[in-house]
Amino acid sequence: MHEFLAQLANGVELGAIYALIALGYTLVYGILELINFAHGDVYTFGSFTALVVLVALRAAHVLHGVGLILGIVAALLVAILACALLNAGIERLAYRRLRKAPRLAPLITAIGVSFMLENLIELWQGSAPVPFPNVIPNPELRFGALQVGVQQIVVVALAIVTMIALHYFVQRSRLGKAMRAVAQDRDAASLVGINVDRTIAITFLIAGALAGVAGFVGGVSFGSAWFLNGFGAGLRAFTAAVLGGIGNIAGAMLGGFLIGLLESFSTWFIGGQWSNVAVFSVLILVLVFRPSGLLGESLPEKV
């Protein structure tokens, strides 16, 4: 029972991180039908920027009391900003030129960008995992048989708040409505006066910002950052987005939590070395048997 609850908490925590990353895939796919393969590496970049900020602040001895809270907020904000700009920059420099290219071209480009980012991060921070500054106090709390760390609660809470904010933004705000219109029909959207280029750029900014939150949260949660983290986490998150129904925001959240739980429980039952196999098998099975995902609707092929 203890072990079960611990794995459950673990899975939810992992799931929150995957859900945040998955939202980035789903937003971009929804609007461009592009699998932004570099998204996972933007997440890695977020982890490292937060890490660098925290390390610098710790070296300056300001991380105590109010300074600690301000420092954490600063690290989070810097990660968000850096990732948003990076993601939008990638769109501007690489993907924008390929909107009318044959379908494989943007995906191949995205893979290329991913490889470049991974290598650049490796050159920057080395090829070994870097420990994440352990500055956030993490006392254990007990709820009956359930034992969770404060960090876990912060991680999940931060993720959920972000997701709710995103949901309302997309449903209610002017920009959110523009995003949905462009996703539905780019030409029609531009006919009614929506600036398509700007809307797509903003989508990438938001997706990047989400990856920044995820990068911070993931760094805290895993206790380290590694240049290849984004590859595995990105694929899991993409699986989550597909499982939930790609292009669907609620689906990405649901998928994220399901994949987090799957990973945590498959690790428990059959061993961590099989969790990759489990996750990718889910990906293949979902795509083969229900490509529209759990919450997606299937659309008839256009003729």
Query: Contact residues for other proteins (CB under 8 A)?
Result: 33-35, 94, 97-98, 100-109, 111-120, 122-123, 127, 231, 235, 238-239, 242, 273-274, 276-277, 280-281, 283-284, 287-288, 291, 300-301, 303
* 78 Cβ neighbours under 8 A, 6+ residues apart: 49, 50, 53
Rounded to a whole number of angstroms, the minimum distance from the CB of residue 191 to other proteins is 15
Rounded to a whole number of angstroms, the minimum distance from the CB of residue 111 to other proteins is 6
* Cβ-contact 233, 43 below 8 angstroms: yes
**Cβ proximity to other proteins, 64 vs 97, nearer residue:** 97
Rounded to a whole number of angstroms, the minimum distance from the CB of residue 37 to other proteins is 9
Rounded to a whole number of angstroms, the minimum distance from the CB of residue 122 to other proteins is 6
Q: How far apart are CA 62 and CA 54, in angstroms?
A: 10
**Cβ proximity to other proteins, 70 vs 93, nearer residue:** 93
Rounded to a whole number of angstroms, the minimum distance from the CB of residue 257 to other proteins is 20
**Cβ proximity to other proteins, 33 vs 140, nearer residue:** 33
Rounded to a whole number of angstroms, the minimum distance from the CB of residue 276 to other proteins is 5
**Cβ proximity to other proteins, 101 vs 150, nearer residue:** 101
**Cβ proximity to other proteins, 59 vs 120, nearer residue:** 120
* 231 Cβ neighbours under 8 A, 6+ residues apart: 40, 41, 114, 118
Rounded to a whole number of angstroms, the minimum distance from the CB of residue 295 to other proteins is 17
**Cβ proximity to other proteins, 28 vs 148, nearer residue:** 28
* Cβ-contact 55, 78 below 8 angstroms: no
**Cβ proximity to other proteins, 77 vs 130, nearer residue:** 130
